[in-house]
């Protein structure tokens, strides 16, 4: 199959809508990352998504809608706290886990009796959903285990020959996947941090809880509330280590490790911020120092670049976990298997 990459136009949207309605898959630009979209009400389309990604069948898909009016038939109830979150943060980078209605196939929810729903901010994403006329199930558009794609080109690298069409909406503004919030109980629980931060949720609801696995690895055999958390994610080929502490100490420790590893024959790259002095050592930029949003929008591209360059060791500067920094550290932490040096 030849994979076309087309800019978002009335014509390409109509083509995308037709492909989705016929049970096929389309690369969908969103403000978070590119998604691999299929008809969320079609079990066969969902199976094709799992197959194209190489995704384990027990990892559920997020269902995307273009307006809140489309939600009632998809869920059994919408708790009060969920309504408040929808009003505050939709359209936007937030997925709410709600009790699912029967029309959502078990393949989409991976056998759970809940479903993740999102109303994206991206105009292109919503236009594609409207063109399809059905809700769109879309996990991140990477092959399973690879960093999520934040450009159409990255999605093509992973999906070339597997799907007919990717709509190119340019680079993703947020750059990390949506916040996943379990809204089935009284106190919403953030299962995966993203662009809607714990601080933002707390501001609206007065309280918030963050799942303990956001910043820690799983213990052997442990059961998780968000199945995606148990899989190795975002991991580059390079062994990845995070350095956390005062900026000067972090820079010094990274430089020392870089030099020792290089002398030992390793290919090393630093994931570090602009303006931090790493001398002539290889650095992949995470953007402006102190900007967690810069780091969010650059991290996945940086992880892909490590692999392209054939690096064997990556040394990363940590970011503060305030705001979207928690989402950055969750993804960076998982890429590094939570190998964090405190200096």
The least CB distance from residue 132 to ligand AMP, in Å, is 18
226 interface partner picked from ligand AMP, Mg ion, none, CB below 5 to 8 A per type: ligand AMP
Binding pattern to ligand AMP, positions 90-119, x when CB under 6 A? -------x-----------x--x-xxx---
Nearer to ligand AMP, 38 or 323 (CB): 38
CA distances from 142 to 49, 60, 121, 162, 330 (A): 11, 15, 21, 12, 18
Nearer to ligand AMP, 192 or 283 (CB): 192
Q: Does 79 bind ligand AMP (CB under 6 A)?
A: no
The least CB distance from residue 166 to Mg ion, in Å, is 16
Pairing label, strands 35-39, 136-137: antiparallel
The least CB distance from residue 339 to ligand AMP, in Å, is 21
98 interface partner picked from ligand AMP, Mg ion, none, CB below 5 to 8 A per type: none
Helix (H, G, I), strand (E, B), or coil: what is residue 125?
A: helix
120 interface partner picked from Mg ion, ligand AMP, none, CB below 5 to 8 A per type: none
Sheet containing strand 62-64, strands side by side: 4-7, 165-168, 26-28, 35-39, 136-137, 62-64, 114-118, 94-99, 179-182, 189-192, 209-210
Nearer to ligand AMP, 59 or 285 (CB): 59
The least CB distance from residue 140 to Mg ion, in Å, is 3
Binding pattern to ligand AMP, positions 185-224, x when CB under 6 A? ------xx--------------------------------
The least CB distance from residue 60 to ligand AMP, in Å, is 4
The least CB distance from residue 40 to ligand AMP, in Å, is 12
The least CB distance from residue 314 to ligand AMP, in Å, is 22
**Which stretch in 53-61, 236-244, 251-259, 275-283 sits in contact with ligand AMP by CB under 6 A?**
53-61
Pairing label, strands 313-317, 239-244: parallel
Q: Mark out the alpha helices in the chain (DSSP H runs).
A: 10-21, 43-53, 80-89, 106-109, 123-132, 152-159, 198-205, 247-263, 292-309, 325-335
Distance in angstroms (rounded) separating the CA atoms of residues 183 and 108: 18
**Residue 156 structure tokens:** 């093509």
The least CB distance from residue 49 to ligand AMP, in Å, is 9
- Residue with CB nearest ligand AMP? 228
242 interface partner picked from ligand AMP, Mg ion, none, CB below 5 to 8 A per type: none
Terminal-to-terminal C-alpha distance of the chain: 50
**Residue 130 structure tokens:** 């409207």
- Tell which positions 218-277 bind ligand AMP, by CB under 6 A: 225-228
Number of residues in contact with ligand AMP, rule: CB under 6 A? 20
Neighbours of 237 (CB within 10 A): 12
Q: Given the structure tokens 């501001």, which residue do they identify? A: 203
For Mg ion, the binding residues (CB under 5 A) are 140
Q: Does 137 bind ligand AMP (CB under 6 A)?
A: no
Q: Report whether 165 contacts 27 (CB < 8 A).
A: yes
Q: Report whether 150 contacts 93 (CB < 8 A).
A: no
| Chosen residue from 17, 93, 120, 139 binding ligand AMP by CB under 6 A | 139
Q: What angle do CA 92, 170, 308 make, to 5 degrees?
A: 110
- Expressed in percent and rounded to 5, the helix, strand and coil fractions of the chain are 35, 20, 45
Q: Give the footprint of ligand AMP on this chain (CB under 6 A).
A: 59-62, 97, 109, 112, 114-116, 139-140, 177, 180, 191-192, 225-228
């Amino acid at each position: 199959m030849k994979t076309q990459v087309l800019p978002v136009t009335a014509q390409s949207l109509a083509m995308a809508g037709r492909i989705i309605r016929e049970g096929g898959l389309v690369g969908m630009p969103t403000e978070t990352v590119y998604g691999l979209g299929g008809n969320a009400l079609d079990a066969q389309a969902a199976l094709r998504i799992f197959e194209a990604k190489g995704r384990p069948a027990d990892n559920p898909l997020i269902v995307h809608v273009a307006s809140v009016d489309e939600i009632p038939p998809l869920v059994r109830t919408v708790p009060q706290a969920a309504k408040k979150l929808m009003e505050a943060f939709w359209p936007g980078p937030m997925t709410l886990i709600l009790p699912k209605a029967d029309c959502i196939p078990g393949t989409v929810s991976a056998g759970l009796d809940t479903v993740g729903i999102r109303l994206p901010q991206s105009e292109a994403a919503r236009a594609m959903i409207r063109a399809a006329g059905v809700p769109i199930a879309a996990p991140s558009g990477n092959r399973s285990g690879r960093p999520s794609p934040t450009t159409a080109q990255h999605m093509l690298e992973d999906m070339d020959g597997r799907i007919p069409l990717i709509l190119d909406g340019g680079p993703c503004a947020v750059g990390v996947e949506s916040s996943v919030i379990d809204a089935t109980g009284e106190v919403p629980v953030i299962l995966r941090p993203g662009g809607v931060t714990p601080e933002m949720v707390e501001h609206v609801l007065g309280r918030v809880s963050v799942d303990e696995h956001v910043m820690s690895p799983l213990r052997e055999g442990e059961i998780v509330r968000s199945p995606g958390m148990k899989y190795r994610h975002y991991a580059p080929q390079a062994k990845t280590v995070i350095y956390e502490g005062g900026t000067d100490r972090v820079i010094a420790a990274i430089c020392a490790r870089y030099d020792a590893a290089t002398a030992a024959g390793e290919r090393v790259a630093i994931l570090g911020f602009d303006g931090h002095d790493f001398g002539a050592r290889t650095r992949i930029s995470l953007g402006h120092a102190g900007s967690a949003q810069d780091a969010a929008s650059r991290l996945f591209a940086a992880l892909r670049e490590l692999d392209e360059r054939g690096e064997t060791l990556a040394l990363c500067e940590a970011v503060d976990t305030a705001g979207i920094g928690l989402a950055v550290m969750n993804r960076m932490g998982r890429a590094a298997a939570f190998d964090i040096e405190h200096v």
